[in-house]
Amino acid sequence: MTLGDTPFYRRETLLDVIPQEHQVDEIRLPVYEGVPGHPKYFPAWLFPELARLSQDQGARDLIKLHEPRCRFLEVNDPGVTRDFDTLADFFDS
């Protein structure tokens, strides 16, 4: 499952972020020119914590808390940094 407000990353980026191996325990995050983006991969052990987040609370704090278990993947895809959070974001694209 991916977020609907991050439509501009490339298919290849999604394939890079989603691990092909089974039982991957790391959080995987794409980074473009030093800027983290989407899509993010969260392993099953983190699902209970993700489920406790409120609607307006993103996973940023969980990523910070579990940073030693994060893998930052440098990607050549500026689309990972595009995110639609407000109506103005649609017109700035």
Per-residue confidence of the chain (93 residues) as pLDDT tens digits? 555 555 667 888 888 888 887 678 899 999 999 999 888 889 999 999 988 887 666 788 889 999 999 999 999 999 888 876 666 766 665
Q: Taking the CA atoms of the chain, what radius of gyration do you get in angstroms?
A: 13
Sheet holding 35-36, edge to edge: 35-36, 27-32, 70-74
In the chain, where the domains are located = 11-91
Q: Which CATH architecture has domain 11-91?
A: Alpha-Beta Complex (3.90)
pTM over 0.85: no
- Tokens 């930052």 correspond to 72
